[in-house]
Amino acid sequence: MNRRVFLSLASSVFAQQQKPNFLFLFADDLGWGDVGFNGRKDWSTPNLDRIAAQGTIFDRWYTAFPVCAPSRACLMTGRYGIHHTVRNNSVDIPAGEVTIAETLKGQGYATALFGKWHQGARNQTHPLDQGFDETFGYLTAQHAWEHFPKKFWRGRVEEEVSGYSCDIIVKEAMRFLDQNRAKPFFLYLPFIEPHFYIEAPEENLKKYRGKFPEKEPSKPYRANYAAMIERLDAAIGRVVAHLDKLGLRESTCIVFTSDNGATFEAGNQGVSAFHDSNRPFRGQKRTLEEGGIRMPSFVRWPGKVPAGKRSKEVVHMIDVHPTFAALAGTKAPANVDGADMSAVWQGRSKSPERTVFWEWPENPRQLAAMRGDYKLLDINDARYLYNVDADPGERRNLAPEMPELAKRLAADIDAWLKTAATP
C-alpha cells in the first residue's frame, strides 16, 4: 500500500472515529414532575438524576405533538405533523419521509431501535425500511402497553420473550453496544414506561405498597406507577453504566425526554392525576397546555455539553434530527422544520429567534404558537396569551393587555397552517 492510500484510509478512519455516538432515551407519557431532577420526592429516580447532573437539564424542551405516533414521527423526521401528515395514532410515517436513522446510516452509523415503533393501523411502513439496521420490540401500538410482553418483533419476525419490558429492551441495548463499540452508532430506546397498563414487578411494587391511599387496596395502581418509574430508572442506569464501562462516555451524546405529558385518560387509572405528574403545569396528554407538551429532558455529553447546568433555552423535538445530523458532520434534508441546536446544547449560543408551533386536530381543536417566552394558545378559536416563563401554570391571560403580540402570533399560526401537506 503506498503512502498516499494509507494516509487517505487513516484519515477516513479517524474522521469516522470522531463522529459522536447517539443514545436517545424516550419515555412514554412521563410527566415533567415525575422525575427527581424536577422535584419529585414520592419516589426516587437516582440514575436519571445522576446522569442529568452530568449534563444540562433543559427546562423548556417541548415535544412536537401531544400524543404518541405523531410525536414520534416528528422526532424521526424533524418535521411538523402538518408536513409529514402523521396527525393521529392510526397513521404511519410515509415511506418518502427521511428519518434520523436514514440520515445517520448514510454517514456510516450503525442504527438500532429497541422498544416502541408505533405503526399506524394500516401497518404501511417498517423501521427496517426507514434506516434502522436492527429493531426489537413493539412494532404496532396494539401491544405497546403490556409491560410483561409475551412476544416482541425482531425485525419482521415475532419471537417469544419474558420479563419486564424495559429490562428486555436494555438487555438488547447492551448487546448492541458490545457489538458496535468500535463504530459510530445511533441507539434509539423508546420505552413504554409509565404508559398504561399500570403494572410493575413485585420487587419494586413492595417498596410502595401502602405509601399512597388507593381507591381499591387490591389494585394498588398508585404504588405501581411509582414502581414503574423506579424500574425504568434502574434500566436506564444499567445501559448508561454499560456504555461508560465500554469507554464510550466521552464519545456519546445521550438525550433523555418523553413523547408527551402524563395522561389522565381512563387507562391510566387516575394515577397521573393523583400524583400530579405534570406539575407545576396545567394540562395533560392531548392538550397543548404546558403539561401536555413540556417534557422532562436533559442532554449528557461530557466535555461538550456543560455539566450541572439548567437551561431555559427553547428546544423543540423537531430540532433533534438536524442537530444530530450537524454533530455527525452532515445535514438533515432541506425540508426539515427544526433547527440545528448543537451550539445551544453545548451552551455556546441562545436559541434562535423563531416561532414554533403545535396542533391538536381533534375535539377540542387546539393550536399554539410560541416565540420566546410568549405562547398563544387557541382552543376552538378562543385565544389565550401566556408568558410561560413567568407564569408556567398558564393562569394569567395577557391577550387583553398585549393585543398586538396576540394578533402577530395568531397570524403566524394562520400562515403555518397554509403550509400543510395533503394527506
Neighbour order of strands in the sheet with 382-387: 355-360, 366-371, 374-379, 382-387
At residue 120, does pLDDT exceed 70? Answer: no
- Which residue, 377, 314, 317, 373, is CA-closest to 349? 314
At residue 308, does pLDDT exceed 90? Answer: yes
Do 327 and 406 sit in the same domain of this protein? no
At residue 128, does pLDDT exceed 50? Answer: yes
Q: pLDDT tens digits, residue range 319-371? A: 999 999 999 999 999 999 999 999 999 999 999 999 999 999 999 999 999 99
Segments forming the whole domain that contains residue 410: 360-417
Residues sharing a CB contact under 8 Å with residue 259, sequence separation 6 or more, in sequence order: 26, 27, 28, 29, 63, 68, 71, 72, 75, 190
Do 285 and 390 sit in the same domain of this protein? no
Q: Catalytic residue at 68?
A: yes
pLDDT of residue 132: 98
What is the distance between the alpha carbons of residues 260 and 30, in angstroms, rounded to a whole number?
A: 7
Among candidate residues 350, 379, 409, the one where a domain is terminated: 350
- Rounded mean pLDDT, 238-257: 98
- Residue in the structure block whose three cell numbers are 484519515: 11
Do 274 and 401 sit in the same domain of this protein? no
pLDDT of residue 123: 60
- Rounded mean pLDDT, 53-68: 98
Q: Which of 68, 74, 166, 253 is catalytic?
A: 68
Among candidate residues 350, 376, 406, the one where a domain is terminated: 350
Residue 376 grid coordinates: 398563544
pLDDT of residue 250: 98
Residue 378: CATH number of its domain: 3.30.1120.10
Q: Catalytic residue at 195?
A: no
What is the distance between the alpha carbons of residues 394 and 287, in angstroms, rounded to a whole number?
A: 13
Q: Which of 83, 84, 118, 316 is catalytic?
A: 118
Q: What is the average pLDDT score of the chain?
A: 94
pLDDT of residue 6: 34
- Which residue, 392, 347, 364, 371, is CA-closest to 38? 392
At residue 141, does pLDDT exceed 90? Answer: no
- 149, part of any domain: yes
pLDDT of residue 422: 85
| Reported confidence tier of residue 121, pLDDT bands at 50, 70, 90 | low
- 12, part of any domain: no
pLDDT of residue 17: 52
DSSP state of 249: T
Full-model pTM? 0.95
What crossing angle do the helices spanning 68-77 and 320-327 adopt, rounded to 10°? 30
At residue 150, does pLDDT exceed 90? Answer: yes
- 108, part of any domain: yes
